[in-house]
Amino acid sequence: MSSTSFQPSYETLSHSHSSEKQAIAREAERLVLDGETVFLEGSTTVYELARRLNQRNRLTVVTNSPTIVCQLQRSAGVTVLCTGGDLQKDTFYFSGEWAQRALSEIRLDKAILGVSAIDLSYGVSTANHAEAQIKKMITRAAKTRIAVADHSKFGTQSFAYVGPVADIDLLVTDSGTDPKYIKGLREAGVEVVVAEVPETRKERNKRT
């Protein structure tokens, strides 16, 4: 298990494990149905999902991410609501009292959250206390809680505790995730969807 970690910038995160995030977004897209009210949390993996929802109809998206708001602003079939709040400029994430107040007054069909650290025994955690509070409120507001996390997030603990893995109903990860984590999640009652990551040209060259 790695030591407690702190959150890199949004720009750094957006360039890390991009193939895995795109594969995860493809699988997560299948879980979002027209006519639903869905929370898309401000993470780079969830942003990849938002990019795939522009052509949806009768979809309502609630988000605390200014980048997701901008991504969906021209979509005629998607209604977008933003929590507002205190902007964390390094991660482009709304949190704080205003965001919490908005979340306390809504009910969601589904919430899709990014996970920055997940450990089977400790649970889900994140680098920022304000972000952890938002994640907790999102899980309470949603009927179905979906997490997205690439393989690098497993076996790690971060600064601020969010909750046990059992608070997640379904998790989407990539095929690089160690099977022991997938098995442990399923034993904890979490449904797991594994997204196959296409082989890169560099990986093909290594084998030839």
Residues 6+ apart with CB under 8 A from 103: 83, 134, 137, 138, 141
* pLDDT tens for each residue of 14-54: 445 589 999 999 999 999 999 999 999 999 999 999 999 99
Q: What is the pLDDT of residues 55-112, one digit of tens each?
A: 999 999 999 999 999 999 999 999 999 999 999 888 889 999 999 999 999 999 999 9
> Which residue segments constitute the domains of the chain, with CATH numbers given?
10-196 (3.40.50.1360)
Structure tokens at 78: 């998607």
Which pLDDT belongs to residue 10? 44
Contacts of 155 (CB under 8 A, 6+ apart): 1, 2, 118, 119, 178, 181
User: What secondary structure letter does DSSP report for 153?
Assistant: G
How far apart are alpha carbons 37 and 61 in whole angstroms? 6
- Average pLDDT (119-127) is 95
How many whole angstroms separate alpha carbon 7 and alpha carbon 159?
9
Q: What is the mean pLDDT of residues 112-137?
A: 94
Closest Cα partner for 112 from 41, 174, 186?
A: 41
Beta bridge partners of 171: 147, 192
More confident residue, 38 or 202: 38
